[in-house]
C-alpha cells in the first residue's frame, strides 16, 4: 500500500530504526536531520510495498559505510548519495525506479529517504537485514545469490569508485580498505535488485516496523506509561538485563568500531554483571559469565526511563540502561545464514541458540 513519508514520520522511523540497529547503523540524529531537510526542500517521499514493484523494476540500496565513531564528527557533504546512485545506474544500464535501505540502523534507515526525496523516487518498504550488521556481505540478498556489484563509493571530497568482485565477501575486503582511505566513512550504492528478487530475498516491511516502534516509544512517553514494557511488546523482545554502565572499551580498527561494555546490575539484577561485545553492532551479551544472547538475534541497549536507544559510540560510564534481546528474521536462522552472521563467524566459539528458545 502506497503512502507518503513526511517529517513526523522521519522522527518515528529514526527512533525505531535505532532500536533495530543494535547499537550500529550510525548516529540516528544526523540521518534524521538530512532526511527532514530533503523532504522540506523536495516534498514527501512515497513509500511502497515490495508487492507493488514490477518483477523487472530495479531498486538500489544507498547507505553509509564505515566506523560509527567517525560518523559523529565527519558528516556527509550532501552530494555523495546522488553520485553513488548515478554511478550504479550508469553501470546497470537501465532506469532504477526505487531506492531501499540496506539495513535497519540509525543513519542508514534515513539516508535512503533523503536521497529518495532529492531524486523524487519511491522508497521500498524493506531492507536487507531486519537489523544492522557490520559487513557488506551480511544481507539477506546475498543469501539468495544477489551480488553487491556494481558497488559504488563516493566521499565528500568528490572522489568516487566503482567495484566489481567475484563475490560479496571480497567486496567487503576491498571496499573496507577504500573506506578507510576515504576518511573511515563513505556513502555507497549497492545490491541493485529487481522486484522479483526483492520479493524473495528481502526483509519486508522494515521501514513500517521501524516507524511503529518509534511511534510506540513516543506515545508511551506522552502517556507516561511504561516505555520499556511497550517497547518489549511491540518488538516481541525480552528484557535480559537492567544495569549501569561501569566501563566502555572502544577503538576504531580497520574501519570498524570494536569494543565491549561492562554493566553492573541494578533492581532485579542487583549483584549480577553483564558484558556486551560489539563490532559497530552489539554481537554478544554475557550475564555472569554465561552467554544469554548472540548474533544474529538483536541486542539493544535503551535508556531505562525513556526507552531511548543507545548506539555504541554514545555509550558512557554511568548510563542506566535496559538491555533488550529480540528475535532475528527467519532468513538469518538457517545453517547457510549462520555461516555468514553466526557467533562463529565473529570469532566466538559457541553455537547459535535463538533467544526465544533460551528464554
Range list for CATH 2.40.390.10 in the chain: 238-358
pLDDT at position 1 over 70: no
pTM attached to this predicted model: 0.94
CA pair distance 72, 30, nearest whole angstrom: 8
* DSSP-derived secondary structure for 323-351: EEEEPPPGGGGSHHHHHHHSTTTTT--S-
pLDDT of 70 reads 66
**The domain 238-358 is classified under which CATH number: 3.30.460.10, 3.30.9.10, 3.40.1030.10, 2.40.390.10?**
2.40.390.10
Model confidence pLDDT, tens digit, residues 329-349: 999 999 999 999 999 999 899
Show Cβ contacts of residue 8 under 8 Å, excluding neighbours closer than 6 positions.
none
Listing from the earlier edge strand, what are the strands of the sheet with 151-154?
A: 3-5, 45-48, 123-124, 96-100, 58-66, 185-194, 151-154, 160-163
Q: Tell me the percentage of the chain whose pLDDT exceeds 70.
A: 96
Helix (H) or strand (E) holding 199: helix 195-201
**Phi/psi at 162 (5° precision):** -120, 130
Distance CA(348)–CA(220), nearest Å, equals 37
* pLDDT of residue 66 exceeding 90: no
Whether pLDDT at 125 is above 80: yes
- Tell me if the domain spanning 3-206 has CATH number 3.40.1610.10: yes
Range in 69-73, 103-107, 214-218 the model is least confident about: 69-73
Q: Which helix (H) or strand (E) holds 7?
A: helix 7-20
pLDDT value at residue 106:
77
Please tell me the predicted confidence (pLDDT) of residue 75.
67
Asked if 285 contacts 80 with a C-beta cutoff of 8 angstroms, the reply is: no
Residue 279 has a pLDDT of 87
Task: List, in order, residues 6 or more apart from 109 with CB less than 8 Å away.
Answer: 13, 14, 17, 21, 25, 28, 31, 101, 103, 127, 206, 207, 210
Mean pLDDT of 49-77: 85
For residues 2 and 230, the model is more confident at 230
pLDDT (0 to 100) of residue 77:
66
Note the pLDDT of residue 138. Answer: 96
Q: CA-CA-CA-CA torsion for 32, 318, 21, 328, nearest 10 degrees?
A: -150
How does the average pLDDT of the chain come out, rounded?
A: 93
Please tell me the total number of residues recorded for the chain in this structure.
359
**Burial call 229-249: b when 16+ CB within 10 Å, e when fewer:** ebbbebbebbbbbbbebeebe
pLDDT range class, residue 27, cuts 50, 70, 90: confident
Q: How confident is the model at residue 69 (pLDDT cuts 50, 70, 90)?
A: low
Between CA 283 and CA 287, with CA 285 as vertex, the angle to 5 degrees is 170
How many distinct helices (H) and strands (E) make up the chain?
12, 18
What are 173-232's pLDDT values in tens digits?
999 999 999 988 899 999 999 999 999 999 999 999 999 999 999 999 999 999 999 999
**Does residue 23 sit in helix, strand or coil?**
coil
Residue 237 has pLDDT above 80, yes or no: yes
Q: What distance in Å separates the CA atoms of residue 78 and residue 156, rounded to the nearest whole number?
A: 8
HSE-CB of 22 using CA atoms within 13 angstroms: 30
Segments of the chain assigned to CATH 3.40.1610.10: 3-206
Within its chain, how far is the Cα of 268 from the centroid?
A: 30
Confidence of residue 258 (pLDDT cuts 50, 70, 90): confident
Mean pLDDT value of segment 274-303: 95
Closest CA to 102 of 53, 65, 52: 65
- What is the reported pLDDT for 359? 77
Amino acid at each position: 500500500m502506497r503512502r507518503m513519508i513526511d517529517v513526523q514520520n522521519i522522527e518515528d522511523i529514526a527512533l525505531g530504526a535505532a532500536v533495530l540497529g543494535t547499537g550500529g547503523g550510525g548516529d540516528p540524529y544526523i540521518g534524521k536531520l538530512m532526511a527532514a531537510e530533503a523532504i522540506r526542500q523536495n516534498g514527501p517521499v512515497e513509500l511502497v510495498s515490495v508487492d507493488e514493484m514490477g518483477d523487472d523494476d530495479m531498486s538500489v540500496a544507498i547507505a553509509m559505510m564505515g566506523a560509527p565513531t567517525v560518523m559523529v564528527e565527519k558528516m556527509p557533504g550532501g552530494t555523495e548519495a546522488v553520485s553513488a546512485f548515478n554511478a550504479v545506474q550508469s553501470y546497470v544500464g537501465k532506469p532504477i525506479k526505487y531506492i531501499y535501505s540496506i539495513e535497519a540502523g540509525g543513519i542508514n534507515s534515513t539516508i535512503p529517504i533523503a536521497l529518495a526525496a532529492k531524486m523524487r523516487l519511491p522508497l521500498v518498504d524493506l531492507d536487507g537485514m531486519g537489523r544492522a550488521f557490520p559487513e557488506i556481505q551480511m544481507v539477506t540478498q546475498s543469501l539468495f545469490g544477489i551480488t553487491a556489484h556494481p558497488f559504488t563509493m563516493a566521499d565528500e571530497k568528490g572522489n568516487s569508485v566503482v567495484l566489481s568482485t567475484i563475490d560479496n565477501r571480497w567486496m567487503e575486503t576491498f571496499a573496507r580498505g577504500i573506506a578507510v582511505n576515504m576518511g573511515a566513512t563513505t556513502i555507497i550504492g549497492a545490491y541493485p535488485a529487481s522486484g522479483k528478487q526483492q520479493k524473495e530475498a528481502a526483509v519486508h516491511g522494515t521501514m513500517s516496523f521501524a516507524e511503529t516502534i518509534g511511534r510506540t516509544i513516543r506515545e508511551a512517553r506522552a502517556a507516561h506509561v511504561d516505555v520499556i514494557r511497550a517497547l518489549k511488546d511491540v518488538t516481541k523482545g525480552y528484557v535480559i538485563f537492567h544495569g549501569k554502565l561501569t566501563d566502555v572499551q572502544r577503538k576504531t580498527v580497520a574501519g570498524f568500531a570494536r569494543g565491549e561494555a561492562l554493566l553492573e546490575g541494578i533492581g532485579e539484577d542487583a549483584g549480577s554483571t553483564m558484558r556486551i561485545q560489539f563490532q559497530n553492532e552489539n554481537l554478544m551479551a554475557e550475564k555472569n559469565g554465561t552467554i544469554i544472547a548472540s548474533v544474529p538475534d538483536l541486542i539493544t541497549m535503551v535508556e531505562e526511563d525513556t526507552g531511548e536507544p543507545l548506539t555504541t559510540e554514545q555509550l558512557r560510564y554511568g548510563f542506566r540502561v535496559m538491555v533488550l534481546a529480540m528475535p532475528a528474521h527467519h532468513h538469518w536462522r538457517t545453517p547457510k545464514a549462520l555461516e555468514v552472521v553466526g557467533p562463529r563467524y565473529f570469532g566466538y566459539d559457541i553455537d547459535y541458540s535463538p533467544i526465544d528458545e533460551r528464554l
